[in-house]
Amino acid sequence: MGYTLNFGAVWRDFDLLLSGLALGLGLAIVSILIGCVIGLAAAFATISNRVWLRRIAGAYVTAIRNTPILVLILFTYFALPQLGVRIGKIESFILTLAVYAGAYLTEVFRGALLALPGGLREAGLAIGLTERQTKIWIIIPVMWRNALPALSNNFISLFKDTSLAAAIAVPELTFYARQINVNTFRVVETWLIASLLYVAACYIIAFGLRQVERRLAIPR
Amino acid sequence: MAQPVLKIENLHKKFKEVEVLKGVDLSLQTGDVVSIIGSSGSGKTTLLRCVNLLEEFHEGRILIEDDEVGYLSGPPRRRRKEAEIARQRAMTGMVFQQFNLFPHMSALRNVTLGLTKVKKLPLDEAVAIAEKWLARVGLSDRRDHYPGQLSGGQQQRVAIARAVAMNPKVMLFDEVTSALDPELVNEVLNVVKGLADDGMTMLLVTHEMKFAFEVSDRVVFMNQGRIEEEGPPEELFRAPKSQRLAEFLKNAKF
Amino acid sequence: MLDLARFATELWIARWAVAQGLGMTILISTLAIVLGSLLGIGIGLVLVYGGWIARFIVRLYVDFVRGTPVFVLVLASFYLLSGIGIQLTAFQAGLFALTIFCSTHVGENLRGSLLSLPRGQMEAGKAIGLTFPQVFAYILAPQALRQALPAWVNTATEMVKASTLLSIIGVVELLLVTREIISRNFLSLEFYFFAGLLYFLIDYAIERAGKFVERRVALPT
């Protein structure tokens, strides 16, 4: 085989990899926050009484979930300028990822909303809150707890999807890994370390989120 | 005296560190119908499940017509091979509390599966036997129905047909009416009684005291892993010797 | 801004390339799904019935692969295998990565389905004297497969979407063809949208086929 492992070459640029990882994490966080707003709105739309709202939200979810994310990324980055919108790489990626996350989160929130006891909304109205107040103070806080596990899973998926930012040269972990690989030819070490970084990050995030879930859980 | 069909000798079973069966001896002749009663945790279901080795036991012997079930006592004591154990299980028939019918097969197929795959009978023979037993439990017209289309009582009757079609030496009934709605209990008990009248050797674990009284040749009262009292139903139910049994019967409102 | 006439002309000019790209996408996806599912069944079986050493190793494999982004798997396959002397084409490397990815999903699904079956099914099978292989073949597997079907259809659509990543390593599938077309006529909006639409239609077709099969094998209630 004639391949000797030499991690030194990769170790030298380890800080680059870490910065890429941090960027990826940051991208994921921003995207999921925006995605939550979109997803929550769309989830309410899917259970609204107005048919047109339901249709639009449904179409949004179906369209995005069945389209490859790479196509969406390229579409946003290259096609928007054609419509006159000038947008930087990172912003375009965040936009894409947020819209993508929103579609999946719509289903998560929708499921959590449907799982709520029917009487909750009525109880809020009965004590004199408006529809809007009931939504804000009662429905969303309870639904939120139900949605946490699925939300965590989606966040981890989203974090892995940030690797695709490398396709439009955003300097995140995969981008740097590819660079190091091409520069040093240390294929095994580079990709092993890149993989391990992702796996470790996912584990830590998953662990952290589970702790959060436990803290926020409604005591039973 | 004829050789017993089922003989349980000094049966001990541990679950983790707790002994749940502490030396049980029981013997059934052909045609005997024996009911086991007792409170939860007394070990009665565990005892039943040892007979067809759904539960392991670490000491003692179980013999079905002189064939040692599950383990060869040696010395050394060793577990039989899986193929042998499977063969031995076919000598008993078990009916479960939760019916456990195979949901992806019709009633007929549920019954013929064992006949074709275990007894290796040709399909037409298996179907004939299955149809006979389905008729016997009153479900001829449901032979092509799936479990999801049957009521609880109907499912349990199919389960009985499935077990008895294999022509077992002993039938094992594990609280077969406990999971049924009250109005469906009788249809199942009638089938069980019919089998008993036909001379089937049966070991039943049951909460239905009245039924146990009517159908059994002998009743066994178990408490904390041991047989505390054993005898004909009139003796046990009318004149219990042990105080615990008396209390149990009082609570069971017999 | 949006020139549909020009788009139509350009699409007609490029129709053969698009067809080839589409064909390649379908080929890769199908191969990855089939190979990945076969491997995945093995993985699922080991995770449920294997000895503790086998389960540990497979568990490590599954967790490692699932914690790694697919994109990294594809790139790693591509660079890594040639780096250690295994000469693979981009197609083969990409297929390898997708197969591995698919296998972990299928394996986990199968494990979930098998474990969700009530214990009583195994016991009832044993009680009538079936051996373990018989219980598995006649009783557990048919039920588990029925249960795993929706998730498997979902995995299949994920594989189609993942096939786009192979464009980055130069496999001439639909997305790469799309990018090449765009590099010539700059109709980014139209052609990316068109590509998205094609992928959507493929996934939609898979979902419909899946629902059809689900209905056909559903048990009567």
Edge-first strand order for the sheet with B67-68 is B18-28, B6-15, B59-64, B67-68
pLDDT confidence of B249, banded at 50, 70, 90? Answer: confident
Residue in chain A nearest C73 by alpha carbon = A195
* DSSP β-bridge partners for residue B27: B7
Within a domain: A144 = yes
Give the count of alpha carbons within 13 A of A167, CB side only: 31
Mean pLDDT of B238-246: 87
Which residues on chain A are in Cβ contact (under 8 Å) with C179?
A: 74
Q: Which chains touch A (3+ CB pairs under 8 A)?
A: C
| pLDDT value, residue B218 | 94
Strand partners, B219: B35, B231
Of B13, B40, B16, the C-alpha closest to B223 is: B40
**pLDDT beyond 80 at A4:** no
Give C-chain residues touching A200 at CB under 8 angstroms: 67
- To the nearest whole angstrom, how far is the Cα of A50 from the nearest Cα of chain C? 26
Rg (CA), chain B: 18
Q: What CATH number does the domain containing A54 carry?
A: 1.10.3720.10
Count B/C contacts: CB-CB distance under 8 Å: 77
Residue ranges of chain C whose CB lies within 8 Å of a chain B CB: 118, 120-121, 123-132, 134, 138-139, 142-143, 146, 219-221
Q: End-to-end alpha-carbon separation of chain A, Å?
A: 59
- Residues with Cβ < 8 Å from B36, sequence gap 6 or more? B44, B47, B48, B203, B204, B205, B206, B219, B220, B221, B222
The type of residue at B3 is Q
**Nearest-by-CA chain C residue for A198:** C68
Q: Which amino acid is at B205?
A: V
Q: Look up residue B236 and give its DSSP letter.
A: I
Contact A79 C188 (CB under 8 A): yes
Euclidean distance between CA atoms C9 and C20, whole angstroms: 18
SS3 B206: coil
Separation CA A44–CA A112 (nearest Å) = 11
Tell me if B50 sits within 8 A of B43, measured CB to CB.
no
CB distance C172 to C24 below 8 Å: yes
pLDDT bin (cut points 50, 70, 90) of residue A1 is very low
| Alpha-carbon span B180 to B156, nearest angstrom | 9
Is pLDDT above 50 for B159? yes
Determine the Cα–Cα distance for residues A185 and C74; give it in Å rounded to an integer. Answer: 17
Question: B1 pLDDT exceeds 70?
Answer: no
Q: Which residues of A touch C193 (CB under 8 A)?
A: 75, 79
Q: Smallest Cβ distance to C129: which of B118, B146, B148? A: B118
Write the residue in C118, C129, C146 that is nearest to B114 by C-beta.
C129
Four-CA torsion A12, A18, A24, A26, nearest 10 degrees: -140
Q: Rounded to whole angstroms, how far apart are CA atoms C15 and B246?
A: 89
Residue A78 and residue C85: Cβ atoms within 8 Å? no
Q: Mean pLDDT for chain B?
A: 92
**Contact assignment for C162 to A79 by CB distance below 8 Å:** no
Residue A200 structure tokens: 């470790």
Which secondary-structure segment (H or E) carries B6? strand B6-15
- Say how far apart CA B88 and CA B221 lie, in whole Å: 27
Q: Looking at chain C, which residue has its C-alpha nearest residue A197?
A: C68
DSSP assignment of B18-51 equals: EEEEEEEEEEE-TT-EEEEE--TTSSHHHHHHHH
Look at chain A and count its residues: 220
How many Å lie between the alpha carbon of C113 and the closest alpha carbon of chain B? 15
Q: What are the helix (H) ranges across chain C? A: 4-13, 15-49, 52-67, 70-83, 90-116, 119-127, 132-134, 141-162, 174-185, 188-217
In a domain, A95, yes or no: yes
Chain A residues with CB-CB distance to C188 below 8 A: 75, 78-79, 81-82
d(CA C143, CA C116): 10
The stretches of chain B forming alpha helices (DSSP H) are 44-51, 82-89, 107-117, 123-136, 152-164, 182-197, 209-215, 233, 243-251
Helix (H, G, I), strand (E, B) or coil at A211: helix
Which tens digits make up the pLDDT trace of A46-101? 988 899 999 999 999 999 999 999 999 999 998 888 777 788 889 999 999 999 99
Q: How far apart are the CA of C83 and the nearest CA of chain A, in angstroms?
A: 6
Tracing tokens 């399909």 back to the chain, one arrives at: B123
Mean pLDDT across chain A: 87
C135: chain B residues, CB-CB within 8 Å:
none
- What is the number of domains present in chain A? 1
DSSP state, residue B235: I
Q: In the structure, how many helices (H) and strands (E) does chain A have?
A: 10, 0
Contact list in A for residue C1 (CB cut-off 8 A) is 82-84
Asked if C129's CB is within 8 angstroms of B90's CB, the reply is yes
- Looking up tokens 């290796």 gives B120
Task: Please give, rounded to a whole number of angstroms, the shortest distance from the CA of A156 to a CA of chain C.
Answer: 9
- Work out the number of other CB atoms within 10 angstroms of the CB of residue C109: 23
Q: Residue A127 belongs to what domain range?
A: 8-216
| Angle of helix A187-216 versus helix C52-67 axis, rounded to 10 | 90
CB A191 within 8 A of CB C75: yes
Q: How far is B87 from chain C (nearest CA, A)?
A: 6
pLDDT digits (tens, 9 = 90+) for B163-208: 999 999 999 999 999 999 999 999 999 999 999 999 999 999 998 8
Q: Give chains near B: 3+ CB pairs under 8 A.
A: C
Q: What is the pLDDT of residues A105-148, one digit of tens each?
A: 999 999 888 888 878 888 888 888 888 888 888 888 888 888 88
Query: How far C58 CA lies from chain B's nearest CA (Å)?
Result: 26
Domains and CATH numbers, chain C: 28-216 (1.10.3720.10)
Distance of CA B214 to CAs B193, B230, B234, C116, Å? 9, 16, 10, 40
Separation of alpha carbons B222 and C40, rounded Å: 48
Percent of chain A predicted with pLDDT > 90:
48
Of C1, C76, C179, the CB nearest to A195: C76
Phi-psi region of A74 (alpha: psi -120 to 50; beta: other; left: phi over 0): alpha
* Cβ pair A178:C75 closer than 8 A: yes
Mean pLDDT over residues B149-154, rounded?
94
CA B85, CA B196: separation in Å to the nearest integer? 26
Angle at B39 between CA B38 and CA B45, to 5 degrees: 70
H or E, element range at A58? helix A51-65
pLDDT digits (tens, 9 = 90+) for C27-73: 999 999 999 999 999 999 999 999 999 999 999 999 999 999 999 99
- In a mutagenesis test of the B interface, which of C128, C139, C147 is the best target, namely the one with the most B β-carbons within 10 Å? C128
3-state class of B225 per DSSP? coil
Cα dist from B161 to B108, B113, B177, C86, whole Å: 10, 12, 15, 60
**Given the structure tokens 């490590």, which residue do they identify?**
C60
Q: Which of B206, B190, B187 is nearest to B198 (CA)?
A: B190
The average pLDDT across B127-131 equals 96
Residues of C in contact with A70 (CB under 8 A): 164-165, 167-168, 175
Q: Which residues of C touch A78 (CB under 8 A)?
A: 182, 188, 192
> 3-class DSSP state for residue B72?
strand
Tokens 């045609």 sit on residue: B31
Cα-only R_g, chain A? 21
C131, C139, C142 member nearest B86 (Cβ): C131
Burial of B94 per CB tally in 10 Å (0-12, 13-18, 19+): buried
Buried b (16+ CB within 10 A) or exposed e, C7-31: beebbeebeebbeebbebbeebbeb
> Which one of A1, A17, A21, A70 makes the best mutation probe of the C interface by having the most chain C beta carbons within 10 Å?
A70
pTM of the model: 0.85
Cβ-nearest to B166 among C121, C128, C132:
C128
How far apart are the C-alpha atoms of A187 and A178, rounded to whole Å? 9
Residue C154, burial from CB neighbour count under 10 angstroms (0-12, 13-18, 19+)? middle
The pLDDT value recorded for residue A2 is 46
Task: Mark out chain A residues that contact chain C at CB-CB < 8 A.
Answer: 1-3, 63, 66-72, 74-75, 78-79, 81-84, 160-164, 166-167, 174, 177-178, 181, 185, 187-188, 190-191, 194-195, 198-200, 202-203
Q: Which of A13-22, A76-85, A116-125, B21-30 has the highest mean pLDDT?
A: B21-30
CB contact under 8 A, B102 and C129: no
pLDDT in tens, chain C (221 residues): 567 888 888 888 888 999 999 999 999 999 999 999 999 999 999 999 999 999 999 999 999 999 999 999 999 898 877 666 677 888 999 999 999 999 999 999 999 999 999 999 999 999 999 999 999 999 999 999 999 999 999 999 999 999 999 999 989 999 999 999 988 888 888 899 999 999 999 999 999 999 999 999 988 87
